[in-house]
Amino acid sequence: MRAMPDAARAAKANRAFLTAAVRYVAGQGIGQYVDIGAGLPTSPNVHECAREAIPEARVAYVDNDPVVVSHTRALLATDELITVISADAREHRAILSALELSGIIDLSEPVCVLFASMLHFLADADADALVAAIRKRMAPGSYLVLSAGCLDDSNLTAREGVESAYGARTVLSGRPPAEIAAYFGDFELVPPGLLPVTEWPGGVPEGAQPRPGAQEPSAPAMVMMLAGIGRKPGGDR
């Protein structure tokens, strides 16, 4: 908080974006979700939001923290439509293999994959490889939901302070807006596009249709994360 006073506001906005995005995607008929870097379970979580529209929604939570994995498994042990995968985000082949073997997620069908406030904890090359590999395996009509740390001249000093607060083992790889937009590849952005997470509306506009191209947003001072929803072309509307 000393390094970046808006940290709490951004964290709350990120959670609001995640829940609104899942509700929107579920409203488009998507019944399976992969949350990579899920973190400790909270409420409402991905499966709770999705099941407001699709009671039989299936979810895979992926994390590399043994405390997160064991706690999530304990809480959701009786839910046969949820799997918890222990995997390092840098090992995208292991994640894809685990999803295929889970019996929960079918990558030949449309799926929603979420990267909520986690890509900036990976080196740039690792983040690029992870998102590209996942994006390639997603079926037409799938959705990609992500929020990622934004870095520009206005927040370099604050980034250094936040990195120091996290500790020596943590490197924050915030990226310019154009590079965050590139995570979406040829996916069509759902309006309002790629925005600072604190500027996202409480819900995605009803009936919003994807628009082609990843619109590069401006990066106002102290923006920490940009957020967006993309749809892979093809598949049924």
Domains and CATH numbers, the chain: 7-231 (3.40.50.150)
Per-residue pLDDT of the chain (237 residues; tens, 9 = 90+): 777 777 788 888 899 999 999 999 999 999 999 999 998 888 899 999 999 999 999 999 999 999 999 999 888 888 999 999 999 999 999 999 999 999 999 999 999 999 999 998 888 899 999 999 999 999 999 999 999 988 765 555 566 666 666 665 666 677 888 999 999 999 999 999 999 988 887 655 455 555 554 444 444 434 578 999 999 999 776
CA distances from 54 to 33, 51, 99, 140 (A): 12, 4, 20, 20
What is d(CA 9, CA 196) in angstroms, rounded to the nearest whole number? 12
pLDDT value for 199: 86
Quick one: which of 102, 113, 120 has its CA closest to 137?
113
pLDDT value for 69: 92
Rounded to 5 degrees, φ, ψ at 49 are -65, -45
DSSP 58: E
Q: Which residues of 43-61 are buried (b: 16+ CB within 10 A; e: fewer)?
A: eebbbebbbebbeebbbbb
pTM for the model: 0.87
SS3 158: helix
Q: HSE of 197 in the Cβ direction (CA atoms, 13 Å)? A: 31
